[in-house]
Amino acid sequence: MNMPIINTKYEHVNDFVNTLAPVVCNACVKYIREGKKTISPAVIIAQAAKESGWNLNASSLFGIKGSDIECDTTEYIDGNYVSIRDSFAKYPDVTRAVYGYLDLMQWNNYDDATSANTPEGELYGLTNAVNGTDRDENDNWVGYNYATAPDYYETTLDIINDFGLRIFNDYLSSILNESSNTPSDDIDESVVDAIYRGEYGNGEERKQKLASAGYSWADYQAAVEAKYYSDNAEESEEDNDTSEENTDERYATVEPGGSFCQIARDYLGDECRAQELAEYNNMTLDTMLYAGMELKLPC
């Protein structure tokens, strides 16, 4: 199988992915053959796109904390997005940035992600917070590993799905010819249902029972979230009559540097409707937008 090439309607996406993908896939092959931990190419590429704003020349391609440079960034702290200045690691080129990311994944803190076999499971292991359902006794989101934003899982997964990045996982699988070392979508729905019914317990008890049965906790936790807690799951429980009443949605595609105010002005004719636009998409005005994202437009 030859290295895949994506061809979307966005040239900046094509240039970014088609340049980065060979580096990522080669690095993953090297680390897997050396017995090191990895994340699938689809997730690595999507994270790079999200963290850098689709910019291969970004000072910090993956937003890895370090002491090389200081940059303005946004963190989700105590329920709010806060603009801060923080220190990051800087790498001399894209290849070394990818290896720096994979070296970070060797840290045991990311074991839930690196032991997963699906992009959903990997992202769950990186964030451990989907749709706000992972909370402690004080109702705070918990388990953040790579990022603090509560929508990091969903927005990164959107990049993977919107631009067909799973094809690079298939390519990696063909190179290694070992399905046990590469991402798989083989999820047992009966186990998912049993987890939801509480048959595997919660917290550490659930992790131990799944591990004893040979299942990846992160993969199955992500599958439970998708089936029972996601927006799609909630929508599937609505009456058919409700869905038939819905009119065709209108969408706006975020361009590089786009904002809620700009989209509200250009598509809705009123910049003051930016707040309405954000809420219509279950976001806030502080939510980070990335080029290529599609926003639903209110009437």
Same domain, 160 and 144: yes
pLDDT band at 17 (very low <50, low <70, confident <90, very high): very high
Same domain, 52 and 171: yes
Same domain, 174 and 191: no
Determine the pLDDT at residue 239.
47
Q: Decide if 5 is inside a domain.
A: no
Q: Decide if 6 is inside a domain.
A: no
Same domain, 108 and 15: yes
Q: Decide if 230 is inside a domain.
A: yes
Q: Which two tokens stand for residue 16?
A: 């970014």
Neighbours of 84 (CB within 10 A): 10
For residue 258, give the CATH number of its domain: 3.10.350
Q: In whole angstroms, what is the distance from residue 181 CA to residue 173 CA?
A: 8
Which 8-state DSSP code applies to residue 166?
T
**C-alpha atoms less than 13 angstroms from C-alpha of 229 in its C-beta half-sphere:** 15
Same domain, 82 and 161: yes
The larger pLDDT score, comparing residue 105 to residue 225, is at 105
Same domain, 76 and 146: yes
Determine the pLDDT at residue 11.
93
Cβ(286)–Cβ(148) below 8 Å: no
Q: Decide if 23 is inside a domain.
A: yes
Share of the chain above pLDDT 70, in %: 74
Determine the pLDDT at residue 244.
43
The domain of 196 spans: 187-237
Residue whose entry in the numeric block shows the structure tokens 């990696």? 172
Same domain, 169 and 206: no
Where are the strands (E) in 150-253, listed by range? 250-253
Residues 6+ apart with CB under 8 A from 70: 85, 86, 87, 88
Same domain, 202 and 269: no
Does the pTM surpass 0.85? The reply is no
Q: In whole angstroms, what is the distance from residue 240 CA to residue 7 CA?
A: 36
Same domain, 172 and 52: yes
The larger pLDDT score, comparing residue 155 to residue 253, is at 155
Q: Decide if 2 is inside a domain.
A: no
Q: Does the structure show a pLDDT above 60 at 178?
A: no
Q: Which two tokens stand for residue 118?
A: 């699906």
Chain-centre distance for alpha carbon 129:
11
Q: Which residues are bridge partners to 208 per DSSP?
A: none
Q: Decide if 46 is inside a domain.
A: yes
Q: Does the structure show a pLDDT above 80 at 82?
A: no
Q: In whole angstroms, what is the distance from residue 82 CA to residue 91 CA?
A: 26
Domains in the chain, number: 3
Span 47-68, mean pLDDT?
83
Same domain, 229 and 101: no
Q: In whole angstroms, what is the distance from residue 139 CA to residue 67 CA?
A: 33
Determine the angle formed by the axes of helices 41-52 and 94-104, rounding to 10 degrees. 110
Residues 6+ apart with CB under 8 A from 180: none
Q: Decide if 135 is inside a domain.
A: yes
Distances (CA, A) of 50 to 19, 47, 108, 267, 292: 16, 5, 23, 24, 11
pLDDT band at 287 (very low <50, low <70, confident <90, very high): confident
